[in-house]
Amino acid sequence: MFPMDNPTTPLTHRQRAVLEYIRDFTERNGYPPSLRDICIHFGIKGPKNARKHIDALEKKGFLRRTPGVSRGIGLISPSKGVVVPVAGRVRAGTPELAIEDIEGYVTLDEGFFNCRGCFLLRVEGESMEDAGIEEGDHILVRPQRDALNGDIVVAMVDDEATVKRFYRYSSTVVLKPENPHMKPIWIDTSRGHPHLTIVGKVVSIIKKRH
Catalytic residue among 164, 170, 183, 208: 164
Q: DSSP assignment of 123-163, as one string?
A: EESSTTGGGT--TT-EEEEEE-S---TT-EEEEEETTEEEE
For residues 25 and 74, the answer to whether their CB atoms sit within 8 Å is no
Question: Alpha-carbon torsion 188, 180, 138, 203, what sign?
Answer: negative
170 is catalytic: no
Check if 70 is active-site: no
- Region at 105 (left for phi over 0; alpha for psi -120 to 50; beta for the rest): beta
Q: Which of 127, 183, 201, 207 is catalytic?
A: 127
Q: In terms of C-beta density within 10 A (0-12 exposed, 13-18 middle, 19 or more buried), how is residue 124 classed?
A: middle
Active site amino acids: 127, 164
